[in-house]
Structure 1
Amino acid sequence: MRQNRRTAAANSGPEKAPAERVVKDIRRATRRQFSAEEKIRIVLEGVRGEESIAELCRREGIASSMYYGW
């Protein structure tokens, strides 16, 4: 019985690495890259104050912390 437990543990270990790699690749592929012009446009819209920062960030699909970081 001990060999069966070891075999099951040994088999489950290496399978995790490829799954984690796939998840990282998916995250990387779905991550948006904003150009300098896009960042400037978004920040200037926020500075104008026509709508709240929260509304602006929701519309643009960014976190408010990212907005303030820019």
Structure 2
Amino acid sequence: MLEQVLVIQKQVNQDAQRLGRPPISLINSEELARIHELIELKTYPDKWDGTEPHGDERFNEVLPDGSIQPLLF
């Protein structure tokens, strides 16, 4: 995932330069260094095991009182 974000950042900035637009930073050098540090320490992703739900999955809503509103459809 990190590589994908860095590729997108590079592509966007190449196009920005070509169009005379300012570059953007999705991940700056300080953030990138910290991510690499956490990967080396084996603490990032934090205890992920690959079975986590994906961002495109829908979930039941958990209300402030702890009750659950299931998806209706």
- Give me the TM-score of the superposition, normalised by structure 2: 0.29
The higher radius of gyration belongs to: 1
Greater strand share, 1 or 2?
A: 2
Higher RCO structure, 1 or 2 (CA under 8 Å, sep 6+) = 1
- Give me the TM-score of the superposition, normalised by structure 1: 0.30
